[in-house]
Structure 1
Amino acid sequence: MQKAQLTISSKTYSAWSLRGWLLCKLAGLDFVEVPVENDASNRAELLLLSPSVLVPRLTHEEASVWDTLAIAEYLNECFPEAGMMPENRIARAHCRSVSGEIHSGFTNLRSALPMNLKIVHESFPVFSGARPDIERIETIWHECLSKYGGPFLFGKKPTVADAMYAPVATRFITYAVGVSPESAAYCRTIADWAPMKEWIAAAKAEPEELEELDVEF
């Protein structure tokens, strides 16, 4: 049987690719990466289509799944023993809700602070329109960490929600966003998560000639 494949784009800039990849890692899926050509014109064309059009795309046992939340649900269905979602029904509902919120919202944050894993600013002027997004994300994190005890959003083990918010944590680090000590600690938890270390190392090894995009996808 053919090994599962995950189609992804730039590891430096593509937050959606990172989410899909982390979900596969959470599931314990044995898969191969299929990178999209990283020339700027091709990546820009994908941007014009949609953040979710085929990037990331999971191909597994004749199924093709290309929306990030659909990938999460598909993998959770295939690998229930992986614990991608909390065991408790109420916590699962909470996890799905906050994951859906990051999937469909926070457009000002996305445009003002695009993911870039090659640099870390000592300071960065944050567009005022992105502040409500930052505040809402911190509220979500605080509620989850307080209710479930951390260090991940739903307790001791990472879940789908952590995969969905991981690119946000990298943004807060990249742009030195002023956040609460609790949020900063969560960002460090994500940065120290073994799959994230693997992804970031690969991002830093990508060719320097890749053109940074103004909008993430």
Structure 2
Amino acid sequence: MTYDLLIGDRSYSSWSLRGWLLFAAFDLPVRVELNEMYLDSFHERLKAWAPARTVPAARASDGALWTDSLAIAEGLAERHPDAGHWPADPRARALARSITAEMHSGFTALRGTCTMNLRVKWEGFTPDEAIQQDLERLEVLWSAARAMAGKGPWLFGAYSAADAFYAPVAMRIAGYDLPVSDLGRAYVDAHLAHAPLRAWRAEGEAQDRTIPSYEMGLPTSPFPIG
């Protein structure tokens, strides 16, 4: 079985990062096609991936097509049950699916205001009350996962699809220097050190494309991934 994956710009597309990590972090080979965002060609290129309207979209060599990152996670877990997308323990697996689905549909204040930008770190950003509430909810979910899974740098011990979905959140926390607990900071640091994520960012830097709509108008410093 072979796969193709359509992504947006690596420096900015948080959903594309999730989709790509579902392959890269689980040693599943995939051919990647870049569809640069905010260009006239973006929707034209999507026609070959119909009915997809957004990125990421993934296609298997047998014709199966997933047009959403959560669908990609479940499709790959179904086809590769030994890859480890979900925890083996049923209780941990239920919680992992639950917090992944909440990430997929929630945290609108954090995601809407603090757009992912892997090119810079913003200095002087002050989170409002809605963002603070999202950060507090993150701490609740991350603590629940760790309490069930025990030791390990990731939410459920070994890296899972839940970590792939929370990777862009960790990048937001790092890029906007958002306040989190020591536990939260350690989790963010694990993502910053994660080899697949570092490779993803390096490819985005090599593309060297800045999208003006992602600019915050704040002072910047280098993104803290090294």
Question: Which aligned runs of 4 or more in structure 1 are off by greater than 4 angstroms?
Answer: 39-46
TM (norm. structure 2) is 0.85
Gapped regions of structure 1 (runs ≥ 5)? 47-51
* 2:164 corresponds to 1:154: no
Return the alpha-carbon distance in structure 2 between the equivalents of residues 44 and 139 of structure 1. Answer: 38
The residue type paired with residue 22 of structure 1 is: L
Residue 141 of structure 1: aligned partner: 142
Q: 1:164-205: CA deviations, max 9, x gaps?
A: 000000000000001111100000001111111111111222
* 2:60 corresponds to 1:60: yes
Residue 195 of structure 2: aligned partner: 194
Return the alpha-carbon distance in structure 2 between the equivalents of residues 93 and 100 of structure 1. Answer: 11
TM (norm. structure 1) is 0.88
State how 1:6-45 maps to structure 2 within 5 Å: 6-40=5-39
Give, in angstroms, the shift of residue 24 of structure 1.
1.2
The residue type paired with residue 97 of structure 2 is: R
The residue type paired with residue 53 of structure 1 is: R
Q: Secondary structure at the match of 1:98?
A: helix
Q: Percent identity?
A: 38
**Contact 2:100–2:165 (CA<8 Å) still a contact in 1?**
yes
State how 1:1-217 maps to structure 2 within 5 Å: 3-40=2-39, 53-61=53-61, 62-148=63-149, 149-155=151-157, 157-213=158-214
Give, in angstroms, the shift of residue 38 of structure 1.
3.6
**Contact 2:92–2:148 (CA<8 Å) still a contact in 1?**
no
Name which of structure 1's ranges 114-123 and 69-78 shifts more when overlaid on structure 2: 114-123
Give, in angstroms, the shift of residue 108 of structure 1.
0.8
Give, in angstroms, the shift of residue 40 of structure 1.
4.5
1:96/1:204 CA distance change after superposition, 3 Å: same
**Contact 1:144–1:154 (CA<8 Å) still a contact in 2?**
yes
1:213/1:121 CA distance change after superposition, 3 Å: closer
**Contact 1:27–1:76 (CA<8 Å) still a contact in 2?**
no
Q: 1:9-36: CA deviations, max 9, x gaps?
A: 0111110000000001234221111111
The residue type paired with residue 210 of structure 1 is: I
The residue type paired with residue 190 of structure 1 is: H
Return the alpha-carbon distance in structure 2 between the equivalents of residues 79 and 21 of structure 1. Answer: 16
Give, in angstroms, the shift of residue 124 of structure 1.
1.2
Q: Secondary structure at the match of 2:130?
A: helix
**Contact 1:40–1:211 (CA<8 Å) still a contact in 2?**
no
